[in-house]
Structure 1
Amino acid sequence: MSFIEAPTTFYMGRRYDPDTQRLTQDVVYYDSRDLVTHAVVVGMTGSGKTGLCINLLEEAILDNIPAIVIDPKGDITNLLLNFPDLRPEDFQPWVNVDDARRAGMEIPQYAADVAHRWREGLASWGIVPDRMHWLKLSANFSIYTPGSDAGLPVSILASLQAPREGWDANEEAHREKINAIVTALLALVGRNAQPVVDKEHVLVSNIFEYAWRRGMNLTLEDIILMTQKPPFAKLGVFPIDEYISEKNRLKLAMDLNSIVAAPSFQSWINGDPMDIQHLFYLPDGRPRVSIFYIAHLNEQERQFMTTLLLENLLGWMRMQSGTTSLRALLYIDEMFGYFPPYPANPPTKEPILRLLKQARAFGLGLILATQNPGDLDYKGLSNAGTWFIGRLQSDQDRERVMAGLEALASVNTEMSIGEVRKLISQIPPRVFLMHNVHDRSGPVMVHTRWAMSYLRGPLTRAQVSTLMAPQKQQLFARMNASVGVASSYGGTGGTGYPPPAPTAMPSSGGGFAAQVAYYSQQPAATPTAPQFAPPPPGLPEMPPGFPEIPELPTQAAPTQGFVPGATPPPLPPLGNTQPISNSQRLQNTLRSSSNAPEGYSANPPPLSASVPQYFLPNDLTSDQAVRQWEQRTGFAVQGLGSSMLAYKPVLIAQATVRYSDRKTQVFTAREYAFRVPNVERAGIVHWEEHRAEPVDPRRLSGEPFSAAYFGDLSAGLTDKARLAQLKAEIIDVLYTTARLNVPYNPTLNVYGNPDREYSEFRAQIQQLAREKRDAEVDATTRKYDAMIKDLQLKAEKKIQQLGSEKRELANTKREELFTTGEAILGLLQGRTSFTLSRMSRASVYKQRSKGQVQTYELEIDQIQEEIEAKAQEFQDMLRQINEKWAKVATQVEDYMISPFKKDIVLDIYGIGWIPFWYVDINGQVVLLPATGQPQPQQPTQQFYNPPPTY
């Protein structure tokens, strides 16, 4: 059977006739914009509920709608089992062994049978392999397994961070989020605490508010320590010790500490951040389907994780612009325990209720499914505009569902409770009563189409691990690549031209291997990615869009300042892998200058008081520096000699550049830093080679932090005239090169925000393009609606002229014409159903007697041809509209903002002293950085940062 592909239109299946208990040829569609008022799916086990919901998700994905899925059982992971070629070997690794045994078949034979059934089933519903290919390429599919390393790990730490928009932007919403998070957190340790009522809840809530008001991000460790020793003296009017005793606070802190102390805790804090923008979109703006597989979690852990996810979703939602088009989906596959009726009040209930009430204004649609009708708060679900009711197990379940639908009757006066009660009394599998408040034609029985995904049942964690192996490899590579390469002067290495990447942008650079090679003067080796077992045959290919694993750059050893006198021989093989415990400390009294390494002295060089000096703090002790060296190299220290602090002199410059552009409404600032060694009295300074990470001026000192050796100053650093010249030069360099690139869509006239993620800009223009597309589709609908109605009216007049002697023939013609017209109008209005197959009946009456009505028949045939031509023309118009706005959504150009010279402020300029530890390791002298080096961390936010233009 055929169906029409159209924007915003979901292909659901065919109409089911409850009187004849047979399928009709009427295609059932669903307007995606109706999902902004949410949908509820109810059906017992075996009703086809999972197939219906996967169909909804497939149609949304084809329309480039991102989705977050909460999957308590593992059924929705089947979305990743999409095999467009429909080969038996594609299905074989994923077929259920028990199903094959029950069928009396070997695995290969059963896989061939499944492939045949899927091929036949899809064909019977008019679904071609190209549609499956398009589904596979339309989004990136990921499975997250919180608290487990089976799928992609996810970190909960982002949920504890202070609001990005600040506390004052929406105090009420932030307090609602705090209440939900604290309720879930305390439930995780077995405390059923409620806001306002329980002292423990009040205490922890105040800790969150205290930190978030000050823009402080929290960790669980912070919360535990602050619980024991709160950062405030009072709660309300009572001193803290009177409100809740120190003994009770300690007990609460110990309970919370049990979370951190658990061996499995690391799997909750390492991985992708629980950042909604990241879960909805790739950095390039392509939509994602992020499935949270939580079958392995206990009830308290499920509540905790789901509450954090829902609250983050609410925070993301409030930062979006309003829209009438569907922007994104949240799908919860089983609502049991999340939204129970009064008086039960789990931590998930309040955020779900807020989403049901508020999300429609922002284009966020909810699909809530359950097989337990008695576990839903139907009063809260009265906000849902669409109900899909499948086969129910008992009369009691049907009565509960009817109670929920009765709440909608007061809103939709056209809804007949008696008719609905009759329709749901006997529903076969894969058939659902679809009640949509936006559809004036009333409820309809729909038989769901064949799913494009292979519905094999819940996946095991081992199968999830196999599916996600390529993406985990990419994730770990991104996490390792986030470690920058530190230069010997405290900045980041690299080449290019100024300005350096602004501090809000992620910096590129190598990881541990490149750092070790740099400091030990060994060439950096290209890292080898973690090896995973190859996926089984037929595994869907890795969706495009993930960044390639970066190659760590090699970097030449520094030639200036203090370096070891000779390249050390190869380090000894691995011995004791335990970190060393060095008891030696730097002596307080410096050795004489005769013992200083070459190029260094025990006393700081004399400098004019007019030349500022900046000493960077040594964040690492010598023990810590050596331990980091062990971690980076993989070698154990078997012999450790003395250690000394040594400062290297550089020319340090750090400026703040303000950008102000009314056209783009960009008002922001960036910091640029340079550290130049070996400054000569004359010559060109290649500033682009001396970029560095900006440093907080409050961490700098005008005096050494401890006793140390001091490197000799180069000639230019002692020349006041030279320093004055370079000071003016750096301002000129920034004025001509520190341009801020902003992404721009010329058709939509939309500029990106350089302080926000690039994926947000791409999502913004995609949403605007979708809104423009929907508006043009609606205008085209009205145009063809009028034309087809005119043709129908014209045909009606001709049919009436056939006369009573040809009434039977006339009735046949009327049915054919109006079926065709209604088919087009049904699609135009984006509502339930229409029939295309009846168009073929034209041949029936064309073969009948021409006789006296030959003239009329000829005219009616011509009108019929006009209607069919308009139908084809309408489909072509829909395709052109969709293609046009899809291209618009991908248009991105660079808009460049240059600063005014008055907006360049030099914050730091003078002699900078970079601390290093001069250490004897295994008989070889090694120079180790004394400043803290970045450790492997969560992937940084991806911002738009194209190469600078000069």
Structure 2
Amino acid sequence: MSDYEKLGAFYLGKVVDAGTKEATDELLLYDSTDLTTHAVIIGMTGSGKTGLGLGLIEEALMDGVPVLAVDPKGDLANLLLTFPDLAPADFRPWVDEAEATRAQVTPDELAAQKAAAWQKGLAEWGQGGERIRTLKEKADFAVYTPGGSAGLPVSVLKGFDAPPPEVMDDADALRERVQGTVTGLLGLLGIDADPMRSREHVLLSNLLSSAWAEGKSLDMGGMIAGIQSPPFAQIGVMPVDSFYPPKERFELAMSLNNLLASPGFQIWTQGEPLDVGRFLFTPEGKPRVSIMSIAHLNDAERMFFVSLLLNATLAWMRTQPGTSSLRAMLYMDEIAGFFPPNGNPPTKPPMLTLLKQARAFGLGVTLATQNPVDLDYKGLSNTGTWMIGRLQTENDKARVLEALEGATSGQNPMTRTELDALLSGLGKRVFLMHNVHESRPVLFTTRWTMSYLAGPITGSQIKRLMGGRKDVDGGKSMVDGKTPAPSTINHQPSAPAKPVIPPGITEVYVPTSATDVQYHPQLLSVVQVRYSSLKYKVDVAGTLPLAAEVADGPIPVNWEEAAELRVDPAALVSEGVAGASYAEVPAALLSPKNHAKWGKEAAKFVVASKPLTLWQDPASGVLSTPGESEGDFRTRASFAGREARDVAVQKLRAKYAPKVAALQDKLGRAQLKMSQQQSQAQQAQLQTAMSVGAGVLGALFGGGRKTTALRAGVSGVGRSMREGQDVQIAQADIAALSRQLQELEAQVQTEVDALTLNAGSSEIQPLDVRAKSTDVSVPLVALAWLPYRRAANGMLSPAWEGAEG
């Protein structure tokens, strides 16, 4: 294992000597838990800010920490340009042909030069293709372009969904969520609305609050309908029509309707829902870096989307349990305009809340900017790490120094003059890091990034990167992912009239909001089941609505093909949509005797083939909860492992700290003693030389004390030899203590490495809890009519709520 691949440590670069401004051999390893107190990166164009930010994200992913990144400029998509083979052909599509022209080389030659440069640069920092390959294997990479089609789309309508209970129960959090959502939406209409004085803002805020209080969500259509006919009679103490007359409300409704109907807005309604949990982890629980590229949006659209995203991040954060470990990272590049010192755009309140509260939930926020004037330094008072690169002007440096003084609140052992000296003359890729968790600031130079830095990634390049990926929306109409209708349904004949159903057959309809539908018959068996296990401490009951195709033949129902219909049985209705057409009903489905038999078969099928599957992580012993998906459990188990790992490392360091301190103390005293003995030896040698010299002169020129001087010289030689031997003994003691200290540090590192290797090495195991036959009943067996829409090509798609084609 490389020296920098340490548990919970981010390899950012090497320490720079403050005197010589040269890089030393000391690695700068940043403790991942320090990022829970947030970080800010400041540096002008050309300072290396982008490389530092990408390196920080790379290290987070190497440690299994997911990242949600906002990219206003297009630099962060470079994270997808990782080439383990470091072959020129990999670099060729991403080199700038204009650069090749300026360098008077062909694009192929330039690609070869870039590949060689990256291979050499990585090697100089102890990295290579294998580390790049590991990075690609550890995380999923995705680029989203909300409001655009180049990357993966994002549906902003999710932003109007009712927040989770954790937000609803927090009055301040709910107010921030409502204000941010409404301010961003009105910004799209060009309305700069004051939350306290704007009628538009007050009305829309009341509409959202009213719907959310009832547990309901609003889409744009619901918002428009609510504006025209509000579900409440008063706003404050005034009637709605007096506060905001109907004619003027109609104008606001028309503005929103025009926005909704505009071709450019349609892209905002498609794609991945605004669900932060899905942006951070794949359905299988693999960490992700989700890059929200917004370079193509105008200012109002950027503000609208980022405010929704930050509020969604707050809502997700509040559903997580508290922790001291780093659970996830929010990185925002080019923060200018979103967190200004003056003004209050809709992105500022949620960002302030994140900086104040996210630490308790393990969410680390990192903000990056070129200009210090872009940041609200009062809001950054809770930021624990500052990484400052080369600045544009002296005024910028003075502003940073002032902000740094305010943020450290007297914790900084260095004076303003000393900090000023360190910030002056910073070279490219050299940064001053002030970390409140460390004793003093340090200069460092950033390591070579594993990602190829091709410059801002354009829309066409994003399209190329994401071209092979499908929409990652995992929404299915069935719990187990099966299609609720059989594959032969597209070939079933349909008729305008509803087939005649004999007495004794229970009929139900799956509700739909569509009008032009075709109903197709399925056998619906609603099974009530209880799963109980003392061993796994589980006792849950639920309902399984099983929908199955019925065929005429010896085996009418294949229960293995039955699917769990995602429809609440209580929501089933007794009548269909007027004017709908109906498919033919198989003869077997029209026999009441078959229905009674199928009810018993459904119960046996659930007992034999529908266990409650739990998941267990053997390493930590963590067990999933009923209803928790495998992906969600993998995410939780992975974090539990990292959390336990951090605690184990802290205990390990605490265990060895006294021994290390004792050896360091002995080594210090030994070095002091050797210094004293070296001084004594030098003095003895000088005295001996003087005595011998005097004796020789006396012997040559005569004198009464020549014999005494010679004897003194001889005695001094012996004393000098003894002092020299003492120095040698002291040097041997120092060497022995140094070896002991190195061996102890190696022992500590070996145990830390063992923790690293063991962390997350076990595969989770499925545990099936089967229901007893006495705990299963079938209260309903029915002919269920499922509504479908037929496309122009004849294919059918489900037409009930929550279903997709």
Class of the TM-score when normalised by the shorter of the 2 chains: 0.7 to 0.9
Code of the aligned partner of 1:770 = R
Helix, strand or coil at the partner of 2:40: strand
Is 1:672 the counterpart of 2:672? The answer is no
Q: Which moved more, 1:788-797 or 1:67-76?
A: 788-797
Structure 2 counterpart of 1:78 = 78
List per-residue Cα deviations over 1:619-660 (Å, max 9, x = no partner): 6999655xxxxxxxxxxxxxxxxxxx9x96x76432333446
Q: 1:459 aligns with which of 448, 457, 460?
A: 457
Of 588, 612, 618, which residue of structure 2 is paired with 1:746?
618
Contact kept, 8 Å, 2:178 with 2:208, in 1: the verdict is yes
- For the pair 1:263 / 2:136, whether they are aligned, the reply is no
What is residue 614 of structure 1 aligned with on the other side?
A: 507
Question: Structure 1 residues 4, 717: closer, same or farther in 2, change over 3 A?
Answer: closer
* Counterpart residue type for residue 670 of structure 1: T
Residue aligning to 2:320 = 320
Distance 1:786 1:916, change over 3 A: closer
TM-superposed CA distance for 1:235, in Å, is: 1.8
Counting only pairs closer than 5 Å after superposition, residues 594-673 of structure 1 correspond to structure 2 as 605=502, 607=503, 611=504, 613-616=506-509, 624-625=517-518, 652-659=524-531, 663-664=536-537, 667=540, 669-673=542-546
Equivalence map 1:521-536=2 (5 Å) = none
Q: Which has the larger radius of gyration?
A: 2
**Separation of aligned partners in 2, 1:166 and 1:374:** 35
Distance 1:376 1:914, change over 3 A: closer
Structure 1 residues 542-561: aligned runs within 5 Å: none
Alpha-carbon distance change, 719 to 351 in structure 1, aligned in 2, over 3 angstroms = closer
Secondary structure of the 2:191 match is coil
1:374-453 equivalences under 5 Å are 374-410=373-409, 412=411, 414-440=413-439, 442-453=440-451
CA distance in 1, matches of 2:309, 2:329: 13
Return the match for 1:806 from 670, 678, 681: 678
**CA distance in structure 2 between the aligned counterparts of 1:448 and 1:808, rounded to whole angstroms:** 45
**TM norm structure 2:** 0.85
Change (3 A) 1:401 1:809: farther
| Displacement after TM superposition at 1:101 (Å) | 2.8
Q: Give the direction of change, closer, same or farther, for the CA distance of 1:326–1:668 in structure 2 (3 Å limit).
A: farther
The reply on whether 1:760 has 2:632 as its aligned counterpart is yes
Following TM superposition, by how much is the alpha carbon of 1:916 offset from its aligned partner in structure 2, in angstroms? 9.2
Please give the secondary structure, in 2, of the residue aligned with 1:751.
coil
Q: Distance in 2 between matches of 1:622 and 1:219?
A: 19
Shift of 1:320: 0.7
Distance 1:292 1:703 in 2: 43
For 2:390, what is the secondary structure of its paired residue? coil
Residue equivalent to 2:365? 366
Contact 1:620 1:931 (C-alpha < 8 Å) held by counterparts: no
Please state how far the C-alpha of 1:329 moved relative to its aligned partner: 0.5
Tell me, in whole angstroms, the C-alpha distance in 2 between the residues paired with 1:470 and 1:700: 42
Rounded to whole Å, the distance in 2 between the matches of 1:349 and 1:750 is: 38
- Structure 1 residues 916 and 341, CA gap change in structure 2 (3 angstroms): closer
Offset from partner CA, 1:872-911 (integer Å, 9 cap, x none): 33332222110111214xx31223334466754544235x
Q: Structure 2: how far apart are the matches of 1:67 and 1:287? A: 8
Could you say which residue in structure 2 is the equivalent of 1:127?
127
What's the offset of the Cα at 1:270? Answer: 1.4
User: Structure 1's 669 and 371: CA in aligned 2 closer, same or farther, altered over 3 A?
Assistant: same
CA offset digits 1:714-754 (Å, max 9, x no partner): 6896666x765654554454445442112122332322234
Aligned to 1:932: 799
* Aligned mate of 1:508, from 477, 482, 488: 482
Could you say what secondary structure the match of 1:475 adopts? coil
Cα deviations by residue, 1:377-426 (Å, 9 ceiling, x for unpaired)? 11111110111111111122122212211212425253533322332233
Distance 1:880 1:618 in 2: 56
Taking a change above 3 Å as real, the CA distance of residues 660 and 233 of structure 1, as seen in their structure-2 partners, is farther
For residues 651-730 of structure 1, the aligned pairs below 5 Å read: 652-659=524-531, 663-664=536-537, 667=540, 669-674=542-547, 677=550, 687-689=559-561, 691=563, 693=565, 695=567, 696-701=569-574, 727=599, 730=602
**For residues 153 and 21 of structure 1, do their structure 2 counterparts lie closer, same or farther at Cα, with a shift above 3 Å needed?**
same
Contact 2:408 2:436 (8 Å CA) reproduced: no
Find the aligned partners of 2:550 and 2:339 in 1 and give their Cα distance: 63
Q: Answer with 326-335 or 85-94: which moved more.
A: 85-94
The answer to whether the 8 A contact 1:674-1:687 is kept is no
Counterparts of 2:445 and 2:208, CA distance in 1 = 50
Percent identical residues:
37
Residues 99-133 of structure 1, C-alpha deviations (whole Å, 9 max, x = no match) = 22333322222222222322222222222332222
Measure, in 2, the Cα distance between the counterparts of 1:293 and 1:707: 44
Q: Deviations over 1:472-512 (max 9, x none)?
A: xx338x77xx777xxxxxxxxxxxxxxxxxx6x2422399x
Corresponding letter in the other structure for 1:426: G
Distance change >3 Å, CA 252–CA 905, structure 1 → 2: farther
Contact 1:614 1:700 in 2 (8 A): no
Q: In the TM superposition, what is the alpha-carbon distance from 1:345 to its structure 2 partner?
A: 0.6
Please give the alpha-carbon distance, in whole angstroms, between the structure 2 residues aligned to 1:520 and 1:710: 10
Which residue in 2 is equivalent to 1:941?
A: none
Residues 744 and 3 of structure 1: is their aligned pair in 2 closer, same or farther, counting only changes over 3 Å? closer
When residues 852 and 750 of structure 1 are mapped into structure 2, their CA distance, relative to the original with a 3 A threshold, is closer
1:330 counterpart residue number: 330
Task: State the partner residue of 2:225.
Answer: 225
* Counterpart secondary structure, 1:447: strand
CA distance in 2, matches of 1:174, 1:96: 47
- Check 1:223–1:858 CA distance in 2 against 1; reply closer, same or farther (3 A cut): same
Q: Which amino acid aligns with 2:490?
A: Y
Task: Decide whether aligned partners of structure 1 residues 74 and 197 sit closer, same or farther in structure 2, where only a CA change above 3 A counts.
Answer: same
When the two chains are superposed, the root-mean-square deviation of aligned CA atoms in Å is 3.7
**Is the CA contact (8 Å cut-off) linking 2:482 and 2:563 kept in structure 1?**
no
Could you tell me which residue of structure 2 aligns to residue 205 of structure 1?
205
Question: In the alignment, is the contact (CA less than 8 A) between 1:716 and 1:723 conserved in 2?
Answer: yes
Contact preservation (8 Å) 1:36, 1:366: yes
Distance 1:510 1:675 in 2: 8
More helix by share: 2
Q: 2:758 matched to 1:884?
A: yes
Distance in 2 (alpha carbons) for counterparts of 1:76 and 1:706: 53
Alpha-carbon shift at residue 237 of structure 1 (Å): 2.4
For residue 887 of structure 1, give the secondary structure of its aligned residue in structure 2.
coil
Which residue is 1:527 aligned to? none
Letter in 2 for 1:394: T
Q: CA deviation at 1:671?
A: 2.2
Alignment of 1:141-156 (within 5 A): 141-156=141-156
Q: 8 Å contact 1:673–1:694 — kept in the other structure?
A: no
Deviation readout 1:641-691 (Å, 9 max, x if unpaired): xxxx9x96x7643233344667546645232334574799x9997544555
**SS of residue paired to 1:750:** coil
Instruction: Give the conservation status (yes or no) of the 8 Å contact 1:277–1:316.
Output: yes
Moved more, 160-169 or 302-311: 160-169
Give the letter for the 1:883 counterpart. Answer: L
CA distance in 2, matches of 1:676, 1:932: 18
Equivalent positions of 1:769-808 (< 5 A) are 769-796=641-668, 798-799=670-671, 802=674, 804-807=676-679
